[in-house]
Structures are given as structure tokens and as C-alpha cells.
Amino acid sequence: MKREIIDEVIACLPNERTLFHYFKGQYALQLLHFATHQLKSVAAIKRSPYQRLLNRAGVRSLLARQGSGEIAPELFAHCWHPSSQPFVLTVDRWGDDNRWDYQVTRPGCNLVLQLNFSEQHNRAYQKLVKPEDEFIFNYSGHPVMEKGKRAMFRNTLAWARIDFDLERGEALIEEIQSDWVRGVNACLQAIKKGRQPWHLDYCNCKPERFELYMENVFAPFITLWSEAMLSAAIQFIRVELGIGNIYYHTFDTGQKLKQVYGGTPPRSLYSDLPRKFCFQLTDKDPGFIKQDRTFIRKRRKVKQVEWYRLAI
């Protein structure tokens, strides 16, 4: 995708950042909110890919209060839970025009949606860990927020890279990733093995203080982050871009088409996660990339190509 398109989209977004709240399992309510614009009854949902969402505890309780088989989208809107975590969403650009070596499916740029920690987390992190560098648990070569680029700064928990075509109404989620989760887990494992993690060489804290951070501050994010990131990406694509046809890489196809060599991401991010969100497997390429000459050359080398697809 051309950088001008991304820059134009970013310029049109309200403000420059968006508050986003998420609690475990909220994706089920989000997807049903979108789905019920077309599927108006429980019976219709049971015949759709969203059938499995009806078994979620939060969904069952809402349907029990409904009292009939008819469903309106408003039933699943504005739901809240005491465990909800606040985040700040920002957007950026990744890659370079006419290049494919940024792990993109077709040459060009991706739009990046960044899921950043709230100030609540940052205050606790600063107090307990006392970092002396912004890239202790993030990598500067990845699309995370950098100090000085905006008036405000937040550490980035995770990001999603997105390619899209507004005319065709299609989007491809290239990747979902978190340096922060990998980094803090590596630091904790080193401490548990009695080693001094290199991360703490750039912090003014002892291992015990870092363990307090992991137990009392970061613990909720370990199982929450991937759900929250994909939920935020779907929300952004559907609401801000107005696109309801969303593709997502499978593990094997994604590694080959993006030419990822070494350091592969967790397989679950490209299997368990999209299936949880009701993505369906398809062998049909996204229409907006299948005419790209570089993509065609790469695709010929892959024996079996599969994608996940969500229509909302």
C-alpha cells in the first residue's frame, strides 16, 4: 500500500489517539454486536460462524434477560466488567514503498495500530522497575511508539500491522505481536533461574522489585493482550475504515508469503486466536492483493495457500 494512502487515513482520524477498554472475553460481545446488524435472531446466529459465541457466560446472561428470540445490536453494545483494562490506541505507518522486506505480503507500507499502556500502568511501572531506557522491553526496530513523536508518550504493549483497500472493502491483518510480553517473560525466567537478566542493567531496580511488577501490575495483561489487540484491530477496521471483509494470515502461509526467516512468532497467534474470533479458513486470496506481481511470484512458490477470513 502507498504511504500517501496511510498518511491520508491517519490525518482523517479524530485526534491522534483513542481510549480503548477491554476485559477478558469481550470479543464475543463485540463480534455479536457487529453480527446482529444482519442476523436478527438467536436461530440465525446458531446457523452462522458466530454460533460458538452463544456459549460464552456473558452472552448467555444477556440473552436470558432478553426474553425472546429476536436480538438487536444494542444488546451487546457498551458492556462493561470490573476487570476492564484501559489502553490508548495510536496509529502509525510501517514499511517503505515498493519494498517487500518488511515482512509484508505485497510491496509497500502497512498501517500500524498500536495498543499502548495507560498512564495507570506507566506510573506503577516507573515506580517499581525505574527504567532508564524506553526500549528495555520493546525493540526500536519494531513499530512501537517512540518518545518525541507525539505530545504524549505511552509504552506499547502490542501492535497490529494492517494492509487494506478502501475501494474493494478488504483488509488483511499482517501480524499481531508484542515485544513487551516476550521481554518481561524472558526477564522473569532469568530471575527464576538465578541469573541476572540484561534487562535490569538498564533499570534502577532489584529482581525482587521486578517480580512485584509482574505479580501486581503486569499479570492481567499476560492472557489479555492478544485478545485485546485483535479486538481493537477489528474495531478499527470495521468502524474507522468501514471495512467488513477482514483477512488474517495462517501460520504456514504467512511465514512463506511474508518471507519470515527465524524468530517465528507463537503459532497460537495464527491458529487459536483467529479461530476464537470466528475467522473461517479459505483458499481464496484477498482480491486487493492477488493482482500484485510480487505477490503472484511469491504465491507460485507456496504449494497450499490458506487464509482466515471474517465477514462482519
> What ranges do the domains of the chain cover?
3-24+82-311, 26-76
Asked if residue 98 has pLDDT above 70, the reply is no
Residue 96 burial (C-beta neighbours within 10 Å; 0-12, 13-18, 19+): middle
| Residue 142 CA: distances (Å) to CA of 1, 103, 124 | 18, 11, 24
Q: Calculate mean pLDDT across residues 161-186.
A: 97
How far apart are the two ends of the chain, measured CA to CA in Å? Answer: 23
Residue 10 burial (C-beta neighbours within 10 Å; 0-12, 13-18, 19+): middle
| Single-letter code of the amino acid located at 271 | S
When pLDDT is cut at 50, 70 and 90, the band that residue 15 belongs to is low
pLDDT of residue 193: 97
Q: Which of 91-95, 105-109, 222-226, 257-261 has the lowest mean pLDDT?
A: 257-261
- pLDDT per residue as tens digits for the range 255-307: 999 988 777 889 999 999 999 999 999 999 999 999 899 899 989 999 899 99
pLDDT of residue 238: 97
Asked if residue 99 has pLDDT above 70, the reply is no
Q: What is the pTM of this model?
A: 0.96
pLDDT of residue 312: 93
